[in-house]
Amino acid sequence: MTNKHFKYKERLRSFRYAFRGIGILIQSQHNAWIHAFATMAVIMAGMLWGISKGEWIGIILAIVVVWVAEALNTAFEFLADAAIPSFHPLVKNAKDIAAGAVLLAVIGAVAIGVMIFGPHLAETIKAIR
């Protein structure tokens, strides 16, 4: 076990790497653009309808789960492509499973969104009529 001392410069550098990774994710993945649009739309809807603190917690957790799933899927795809650049059926299966994990996260986020925003939308429609 090495005895490494805490160094602020190294901690700051790790944040720079993390932000660089988020930039690569957004620049390289079209689905991340969709997630970014959906994130902004949901945040605006939450502000418009003045959702509660508890509802914000659900929305924030749903957003974070989708973004984390997309980031891990992207990292996995980059690693798989670097390890085995040519087609391999097991790599294809692993990539499909990782993409499926993102889809599951999105389905869960949509369900949370419907549960939270559905009543607000219904009230808005009722008020318009």
Where in the sequence numbering do the catalytic residues fall? 70
What DSSP string describes the chain? ---PPP-HHHHHHHHHHHHHHHHHHHHH-HHHHHHHHHHHHHHHHHHHHT--HHHHHHHHHHHHHHHHHHHHHHHHHHHHHHH--S--HHHHHHHHHHHHHHHHHHHHHHHHHHHHHHHHHHHHHHHH-
